[in-house]
Structure 1
Amino acid sequence: MINILFEDEHIVAVHKPSGLLVHRSYLARKETEFAMQMVRDMVGCHVFPLHRLDRPTSGILIFAKSAEVARVMQPQFAERGIDKRYLALVRGYVDEAGHLDYPLKEELDKIADSRASQDKEAQEAITDYRPLNRVELPFPVGRYDSCRYSLVEMKPLTGRKHQLRRHMAHLRHPIIGDTSHGDGRHNKFYRDHFGLQRLWLIAKTLSFTHPVTQEVVALETELEVEWLQLFEAFGWSQHQSDYQLLNRDGAALGS
């Protein structure tokens, strides 16, 4: 269920599947499986998550193997020292690359954040994005006789809650499968027509400076099988190599 992408005595990076929580939460008290506990059992020591990955989002998740390494690594995440790139399937045609600087108000949980201030200023939120592919399908969804979708690469330069989902919704290109900020008609179409139900968002690459060796570690994970099943239906390539975002040296392609 979880694949290890990188491991040494200080850090372990895994591929988290869609639908798996990172750690225990009172909001999902009935759940019995969590990425943190699964990784701990796999590597044989306690692990410390270094960043967030929403439950419905799949892809690269990094843990430190000690509190000391976690403490050293945290500034990289806080100060934009981590290069993260995502792939998403969105509604409509995204015609050109863009740089979106659109502040977001903090999303508060009704229970967990019941005592938090409801009047906080919107926080800086910046996302770079570029289209990679597009498709038009001959099926009516909503008021149109056909439906259009784009495969988009996104690079968040800040780390706000649900930033990518909210930014794409702001651009009128919501991510397919997003039940909070997306388009329910298109989500239903994917469930009914393709028999696939998930958030079509994956943390595809992550690059960071190793806290001990000071070397750059560049990781890229593969798309899950349901992505390739969908791409086959679109008439797109099903070769993983055609969706790589990093070259052999770990540098980002298309930047």
Structure 2
Amino acid sequence: MTLEIVFQDEYLVVVNKPSGLLVHRTHLAKDEEDAVVQRLRDQTGKWVFPVHRLDRGTSGVLVMAFSPEIARLLSEQFSENTTSKTYHCLVRGFCDDNGVIDYPLAKLNEQKGRSRFKLEGTEKDAETSFTCLMHYQLPIPVSRYDSMRLSWLEVTPKQGRKHQIRRHFKHHLNPLVGDSCYGCRHINKVVKEIWPEHFRLILHASKLEFTHPVSQEKMIMEAALDQQLKSVLEILSDHQV
């Protein structure tokens, strides 16, 4: 399947990554042939080099470089937190109108086995701001509750710790819908039953701001919600609170 290219020049390319697609093969998924890197190589006819990551289930803005040097310059912006990232997600419960989750996170290392991720090293600062855009209440029992409450959020992580948004909202007791690692199994079970064709991690990287490493121009890249997420929001629109 062809990737949606948001921007491309001779130095870099920005795509709207679909949910369910790896950015690149890993040592735990080395047998998978399909990944963003491979698709873009075939699509553009050039080698591409990853700059940052989006989780497999996350959709949205992803930038890649056409050379190791450009990849290095872009990666420095991410490591120095000079980029700005905006996400949208659906979480369990009613969140406040806005807030900041300030909760240090330890490094995660992926591993084989039942526990896929292992905490390593000391905790590092991690801060995530959010604004609640909408509350929804569906007349569907979940666990011991007689209705399902959800919030649609705009989220801005200050850093880029692995799984930062997902881990922060689990800590905040508002886990993301469709999150198989940190989510609520009761919510996920119900959502999978009522929206089987739309079940996925509901997390989308909507906007990314960075400085072009050659022209020094401020780049504001945006990626539209995919049809799957649009359909979920359309269903939920009848249950706004």
Q: Which residue of structure 2 lines up, in the alignment, with residue 249 of structure 1? A: none
Matched, 1:159 2:139: no
1:118-172, Cα deviation, whole Å (9 max, x unpaired)? 6621111111111011110001011111011000011111111111000001110
Q: How does 1:8-27 map to 2 (within 5 A)?
A: 8-27=9-28
TM-score by length of 2: 0.92
Q: Which residue of 1 aligns with 2:225?
A: 223
1:241 corresponds to: none
Aligned to 1:132: 133
Q: For 1:222 and 1:73, how far apart are their aligned partners in 2? A: 23
**CA pair 118-148 structure 1, distance change in 2 beyond 3 A:** closer
* Contact 2:51–2:71 (Cα < 8 Å) also in 1: yes
Q: Distance in 2 between matches of 1:118 and 1:84?
A: 24
Question: When the two structures are superposed, what TM-score results if normalisation uses the length of structure 1?
Answer: 0.87
Q: How far has the Cα of 1:200 moved from its partner?
A: 0.2
Aligned counterparts, 1:11-50, within 5 A: 11-50=12-51
Tell me the SS of whatever aligns to 1:235.
Answer: helix
- Aligned position for 2:182: 181
The aligned amino acid for 1:206 is L
Q: Distance in 1 between matches of 2:107 and 2:212?
A: 30
After TM superposition, give the deviation of residue 12 of structure 1 in Å. Answer: 0.1
- Backbone CA RMSD of aligned residues: 1.7
Q: Is the 8 A contact 2:100 2:127 kept in 1?
A: yes
Q: Look up the equivalent residue of 1:134 and give its one-letter code.
A: H
Residues paired across the two proteins, number? 233
Q: Counterpart in 2 of 1:206?
A: 208
- Which letter maps to 2:231? Q
3-state SS, counterpart of residue 62 of structure 1: strand
Whether 1:65 aligns to 2:66 is: yes
Counterpart amino acid of residue 201 in structure 2: L
Q: CA deviation at 1:229?
A: 1.2
Q: Deviations over 1:77-103 (max 9, x none)?
A: 111111110000000011221122100
Provide the rounded CA distance (Å) in 2 between the counterparts of 1:172 and 1:119. 23
Equivalent residue for 1:76? 77
C-alpha separation in 1, matches of 2:119 and 2:131: 34
Change (3 A) 1:163 1:79: same
More off after superposition, 118-127 vs 217-226:
118-127
| In structure 1, C-alpha distance between the alignment counterparts of 2:77 and 2:120, rounded to whole Å | 29
Q: Distance in 2 between matches of 1:118 and 1:199?
A: 22
Bigger relative contact order, structure 1 or 2, given CA contacts below 8 A and separation 6+? Answer: 2
Letter in 2 for 1:203: A
> Matches of 2:150 and 2:60 in 1, distance apart?
21
Structure 1, gaps ≥5 residues long: 237-255
| 2:237 alignment partner, one of 235, 238, 253 | 235
Q: Distance in 2 between matches of 1:158 and 1:180?
A: 20
Task: Give every structure 1 segment of 4 or more consecutive aligned residues whose post-TM-superposition deviation is greater than 6 Å.
Answer: none
2:90 partner SS? strand
Change (3 A) 1:189 1:67: same
CA contact (8 A) 2:90 2:152 kept: yes
Distance of 1:119 and 1:91 partners within structure 2: 28
Aligned to 2:122: 121
Q: What percentage of aligned pairs have identical amino acids? A: 43
1:29, CA displacement in angstroms?
3.6
